[in-house]
Amino acid sequence: MIGVIDFGSQYTQLIARRFREMGVYSEIFPPTVKFSELKSKDVEGIVLSGGPNSVYDFDLNFDMNIFSGEVPVLGICFGFQLMAQILGGKVEKGEKGEFGLTKIRIVKSSLLFKGLAEEENVWMSHHDVVKELPSSFEVLAYSENNYIAAAQSQIKPLFAVQFHPEVTHTENGKKVLENFAFEICKAKKNWDLGKFVEEKIKEIKERVGTDKVLLAVSGGVDSSTLAVLLKEAVGDKLTAIFVDHGLLRKGEKEEVSNALRSLGVNLVVVDAEDRFLNRLNGVTDPEEKRKIIGHEFIEVFLEEAKKRGPFKYLAQGTLYPDVIESAASSTGMAAKIKTHHNVGGLPEDLKFELIEPFRYLFKDEVRRIAQILNIPDFIIKRQPFPGPGLAVRILGEVTKDKLEILRMADYILQEELQKWSEYEKIWQSFAVLLPIRTVGVKGDFRSYEYVIALRIVESEDGMTANFVEVPYDILGKVSRRITNEVKGINRVVYDLTDKPPATIEWE
């Protein structure tokens, strides 16, 4: 495994993912990690990430033993500066910053740059520069501004680059990381998700024994994959509960439950539409709606669990980015902290033991596991869908009639969009029902009906997003079909806002 020490760069997770993509397991550690802990995990190499801080005004409790040379180290950006500073070099603010695409000149051959040309296009993002290297170091490359772009120790396996090999803009970045992993660290290619699945199934089976496991499924890829993995491990000792809060899209409950049942999951579908709609009656405030839904969800889920228990274990689809982010926010190194808004957390005093087999996995790895477990494509490729469902896409009060209108409009949008050759680039696409009515003319009569807004965005992770330039003929067809086929709608508008300043959902 390759250990990545996280100094708060927005690309830290990308570094770990790159190594995993090449078949080498990689984990992320806080900046205070001790060398002894890394060794106890058998790390074959250590990477120091970038970060938003400056080394000269930052007091780090960093373990110097990491530079002993016993395990190869690669410093990236801030990681390079930290290595230089600690080992006796000098870091200063450069006269110029270097941001975006830059050329570097490689002036010395090194295992790190094996197979690279003399000039390479790399991606940089820094203001501080290493002005003087530690005495035992030599320069490997310079940037266009003649700053040191890469260096290595002449006596120990310590390497450093000022650019970011983990981002795709660095043309041969992958090659640099491969050189580090295989040429320098001699890492073994043994990270294999098929093997991971087999091992997890065995491990969960042994751990659970004759006890029972409880799981909430939403129909999303994480909980569905978890349901199937658990079923493989413990069979019917798993009870998966799918709460239908009445805020799902057209056909969603049937599609998801049929798919999971046909894969052998012991699935309980709780029909709680009336309960949720009663509680939402007359409520218009977005936060209030979310709170009610979150609270009600937990009540329904726990009531159902009580009827079918006792359960010793609760399984959750927690992913590695959540684990890393909560760790990063506790060390205060990361500049950005994500707001989690899942349907309410379960109360902490519950006496379940947790099973979280995806705690060390990235989302794309869960998708690959879903494929290994034969989960149908429509679940694997599913767009993110908010826990509070259509309630946050009906602005103002949620009623049965409005849900019906929105479901139909959304269905038409999906049907038409799926015919688009560039459908794959869409991160999320949905209809929003606005609480205003406008005047129109249908047949020979004046109409006074609701407005549907279409929201179609592309995004990497939902943190930022851009509206998609969907061709007008598709948008026009969607609009005509909605106004013709959905009773109660006489106007359709397209949302041309990015995030920020807007959010993806309208509430």
The string over 39-71, giving b where at least 16 C-beta atoms fall within 10 Å of a residue's C-beta and e elsewhere, is eeeebbbbbbbbbebbbeebeeebbeebbeeeb
Strands (E), 325-418: 353-355
The distance of closest approach from Cβ of residue 80 to ligand XMP in the complex, given in angstroms and rounded to an integer, is 34
Taking every pair of Cα atoms in the chain, the longest distance, rounded to a whole number of angstroms, is: 87
| Binding window for ligand XMP (CB under 6 A); candidates: 33-41, 95-103, 158-166, 379-387 | 379-387
Q: How far is CA 13 from CA 10, 28, 65, 344, in A?
A: 8, 8, 24, 26
273 binds ligand XMP (CB under 6 A): no
Give the C-alpha separation, 85 to 82, whole Å.
Answer: 5
**DSSP 8-state class, residue 496:** -
Residues 487-506 as x/- pattern, contact with ligand XMP by CB under 6 A: ------------x---xxx-
157 binds ligand XMP (CB under 6 A): no
Residue 181, class by beta-carbon neighbours within 10 Å (0-12 exposed, 13-18 middle, 19+ buried)? buried
The distance of closest approach from Cβ of residue 282 to ligand XMP in the complex, given in angstroms and rounded to an integer, is 21
Q: Is 434 helix (H, G, I), strand (E, B) or coil?
A: strand
115 binds ligand XMP (CB under 6 A): no
Residues 433-462 as x/- pattern, contact with ligand XMP by CB under 6 A: -----------------------------x
Give the C-alpha separation, 328 to 4, whole Å.
Answer: 13
The distance of closest approach from Cβ of residue 462 to ligand XMP in the complex, given in angstroms and rounded to an integer, is 4
| Binding window for ligand XMP (CB under 6 A); candidates: 29-37, 137-145, 265-273, 383-391 | 383-391
- Mode of pairing for the β-strands spanning 2-5 and 26-29: parallel
| Binding window for ligand XMP (CB under 6 A); candidates: 46-54, 64-72, 114-122, 380-388 | 380-388
The distance of closest approach from Cβ of residue 341 to ligand XMP in the complex, given in angstroms and rounded to an integer, is 4
Angle between helices 363-372 and 193-208 (to 10 degrees): 80
Give the C-alpha separation, 290 to 282, whole Å.
Answer: 14
326 binds ligand XMP (CB under 6 A): no
388 binds ligand XMP (CB under 6 A): yes
Among 45, 387, 453, 486, interactor with ligand XMP by CB under 6 A = 387
286 binds ligand XMP (CB under 6 A): no
Amino acid at 88: G
Contact yes or no for 140/151 (Cβ under 8 A)? yes
75 binds ligand XMP (CB under 6 A): no
How many residues bind ligand XMP (CB under 6 A)? The answer is 13
Copy the structure tokens of residue 382: 């599913």
Is the C-alpha dihedral spanning 202, 205, 209, 210 positive or negative? Answer: negative
CA 77 to chain CA centroid, nearest Å:
23
Copy the structure tokens of residue 139: 């320069």
For ligand XMP, the closer of residues 18 and 245 by Cβ is 245
| Binding window for ligand XMP (CB under 6 A); candidates: 46-54, 203-211, 385-393, 477-485 | 385-393
Contact yes or no for 123/102 (Cβ under 8 A)? yes
Copy the structure tokens of residue 102: 């830059």
345 binds ligand XMP (CB under 6 A): no
For ligand XMP, the closer of residues 209 and 501 by Cβ is 501
| Binding window for ligand XMP (CB under 6 A); candidates: 163-171, 276-284, 317-325, 381-389 | 381-389
Among 202, 307, 341, 442, interactor with ligand XMP by CB under 6 A = 341
The distance of closest approach from Cβ of residue 384 to ligand XMP in the complex, given in angstroms and rounded to an integer, is 4
384 binds ligand XMP (CB under 6 A): yes
Active site positions, annotated = 77, 164, 166
428 binds ligand XMP (CB under 6 A): yes
The distance of closest approach from Cβ of residue 505 to ligand XMP in the complex, given in angstroms and rounded to an integer, is 3
The tokens 């998609």 sit on which residue?
A: 468
Give the C-alpha separation, 330 to 351, whole Å.
Answer: 25
45 binds ligand XMP (CB under 6 A): no
Give the C-alpha separation, 261 to 256, whole Å.
Answer: 9
The distance of closest approach from Cβ of residue 67 to ligand XMP in the complex, given in angstroms and rounded to an integer, is 40
342 binds ligand XMP (CB under 6 A): yes
Give the C-alpha separation, 35 to 39, whole Å.
Answer: 6
For ligand XMP, the closer of residues 8 and 387 by Cβ is 387
Among 125, 386, 407, 490, interactor with ligand XMP by CB under 6 A = 386
The distance of closest approach from Cβ of residue 23 to ligand XMP in the complex, given in angstroms and rounded to an integer, is 30
H or E stretch at 160: strand 158-161
Q: Which of residues 288-317 bind ligand XMP (CB under 6 A)?
A: 290
Give the C-alpha separation, 370 to 285, whole Å.
Answer: 37
The distance of closest approach from Cβ of residue 127 to ligand XMP in the complex, given in angstroms and rounded to an integer, is 30
For ligand XMP, the closer of residues 77 and 319 by Cβ is 319
371 binds ligand XMP (CB under 6 A): no
The tokens 């259509």 sit on which residue?
A: 390
Give the C-alpha separation, 240 to 227, whole Å.
Answer: 7
Binding site for ligand XMP (CB under 6 A): 290, 341-342, 384, 386-388, 428, 462, 499, 503-505
